[in-house]
Amino acid sequence: RAASEMIAGVLRGSKHWSRESLEKMWGLVIPLLSTAFSKLRPDTLRFWQTCLRFAFARRDPRRFLPLVRLIIYGNPFDPLSEAPFAEAAKIELLLLLINSWDWRIVSAIAASKLRLHDALAHPYKQVRDAAGILMYTLYSAEYSVSYTNAELAIDDLARYGATGRDFSHWAGSQKTQAFIKEMASRVNEWKADHIPSNEGTSNYSRGSKTLLTFFLAGFSYSSKRLAIEHIPSILPMFSVLQEQNDDEEVARLARAVMQFFSQILYTAQMSEGVTSKVLALLEESSNSWHVITKTLPLLCTLTFSNRFSLSREVRMRIVDTTALFLEHDQIEVRQIASKSLSSLVKCASSNVIADINVKFSAKISTRLPRVRYGKPPKDPAAYNRLVLTRHAGVLGLSCLVLAFPYNIPDWMPKVLVLLAGCIDDPNPIQSTVQLTFAEFRRTHMDTWHEDRKRFTSSQLELLTDMLVSPCYYA
């Protein structure tokens, strides 16, 4: 630690030294740093990182050319090495260079022909994580709002106006875009040979972790531009990775990427495109209920984050797609869709609420045929389909009721009466009605003396048994 602090002071204070003094200093310092970097340990790495970070702050990289050459070329990264910490430390030092000098140092690191591609399925997690972060930081640092000459700047001003060119859709250089596509294709190729086994033992699991870490770095450490531009095209892969049962870490990373992705405030031009990608994913995954249950809450978050930039048509499509899943064969999908639709209704207009009310009221208008206890219905398929449709109607009306926990809109009394008429239906309809009225009673208990004035006497009489707990002595 003392050596790192002294060398940091020497490097920082050599700004105005003569050429002869600088050559003498580098002749002494470079061998010392070369020895120190080759013998890094977990407790000393942070000392040398602090040393370099202090020395490089607000300095031109050309003042440190011997040290830059030592870090980049002195002991290059070896993906075949069996020393994970040593290789991860080399990557950490390269990452420090990029964080200190951004695009000014990217070309020098790229010219060194790092073998980071070979670390995609590296057997050691420490190396994979460091490589994923470095790759994203390296490629995102290529972005620079600058021009090579004044003529280009003047041409942009004439073409795009005073605000200049829109750089919000920057997807990286052609080399970067090709590299991201190559990573995704390699992971897909490994998927074909993947056999579920112990955690992290296949190339598919390791490559998936590195790819997810690559994009997660965009939300945690660096610019989000690359992640925003490329994740929509890889959404189907990430949705599948959320259900990686043989590797919990892959599923956790995939969920984190999807959550960050849905929370971003997109531009008006991008928000509708991203939303359309998520809706298309839901429509394509209609047979995979696991994917649907993970994606529907993300669609709600995406809608809330960008509701002011989404057009009315897109918002209606989101509501219609969510409502469609209330008739899914899997009850878990129906439950998640119900919660999602209830959240969307809170931000919906009165016209949308009226349309939902009419739509789902019509679904429960057809009553179930009577079935004697212990005997199957005459047409089991038709009966089950009618139960599913009626349950979808009950879930849709329940969404309307639960979306307004502290007030009574004009349409709510009639909706509650309709729901009360389904209390004798078989499960899961009956349980849904009971839970809805239990939640309604809980949220309106304190103001019921005022809320009951919104109901007619006949409606109150019908709802009494639903809202008042039965008494043993009655």
**C-beta separation of 223 from 143 below 8 A:** yes
User: Which residues, at least 6 apart from 385, have a Cβ–Cβ distance to it below 8 Å?
Assistant: none
| pLDDT score recorded for residue 40 | 92
Tokens of 286: 């209609």
| pLDDT score recorded for residue 474 | 43
| pLDDT score recorded for residue 198 | 58
391: how many CB neighbours lie within 10 A of its CB? 27
Instruction: Characterise 161 by phi-psi region: left (phi > 0), alpha (psi -120 to 50), beta (else).
Output: left
| pLDDT score recorded for residue 21 | 94
| pLDDT score recorded for residue 8 | 93
d(C-alpha 413, C-alpha 472), whole Å: 28
d(C-alpha 133, C-alpha 258), whole Å: 17
| pLDDT score recorded for residue 373 | 62
d(C-alpha 66, C-alpha 237), whole Å: 44
Tokens of 250: 């892959």
| pLDDT score recorded for residue 376 | 67
Instruction: Characterise 173 by phi-psi region: left (phi > 0), alpha (psi -120 to 50), beta (else).
Output: beta
**C-beta separation of 143 from 102 below 8 A:** no
Report pTM. 0.81
d(C-alpha 9, C-alpha 465), whole Å: 80
Residue 287 phi, psi dihedral angles, 5° rounding: -95, -5
| pLDDT score recorded for residue 159 | 78
Q: Provide the CB-side half-sphere exposure for 314 (13 A, CA).
A: 24
d(C-alpha 365, C-alpha 6), whole Å: 83
Q: Which of 300, 301, 298, 309 is nearest to 269 (CA)?
A: 309
d(C-alpha 113, C-alpha 94), whole Å: 13
Q: What angle separates helix 412-420 from helix 350-363, to the nearest 10 degrees?
A: 20
Q: Is the peptide bond before 428 cis (omega within 30 degrees of 0)?
A: yes
Distances (CA, A) of 405 to 341, 393, 395: 15, 20, 16
pLDDT, mean of each 10-residue run, the chain (474 residues): 93 92 94 93 93 93 93 89 91 93 89 85 91 92 78 79 66 86 90 70 88 90 82 86 84 90 84 87 80 88 88 89 88 90 86 88 80 67 84 90 87 88 82 88 83 83 67 42
DSSP collapsed to 3 states, the chain: CHHHHHHHHHHHHCCCCCHHHHHHHHHHHHHHHHHHHHCCCHHHHHHHHHHHHHHHCCCCHHHHHHHHHHHHHHCCCCCCCCCHHHHHHHHHHHHHHHHHHCHHHHHHHHHCCCCHHHHCCCCCHHHHHHHHHHHHHHHHCCCCCCCCCHHHHHHHHHHHCCCCCCCCCCCCCHHHHHHHHHHHHHHHHHHHCCCCCCCCCCHHHHHHHHHHHHHHHHHHCCCCHHHHHHHHHHHHHHHHHCCCCCCHHHHHHHHHHHHHHHCCCCCHHHHHHHHHHHHHHHHHCCCCHHHHHHHHHHHHHHHHHCCCCCCHHHHHHHHHHHHHHHHCCCHHHHHHHHHHHHHHHCCCCHHHHHHHHHHHHHHCCCCCCCCCCCCCCCCHHHHHHHHHHHHHHHHHHHHHHHCCCCCCCCCHHHHHHHHHCCCCCCCCHHHHHHHHHHHHHHHHCCCHHHHHHHCCHHHHHHHHHHHCCCCCCC
| pLDDT score recorded for residue 348 | 81
- For tokens 């045929």, name the residue: 369
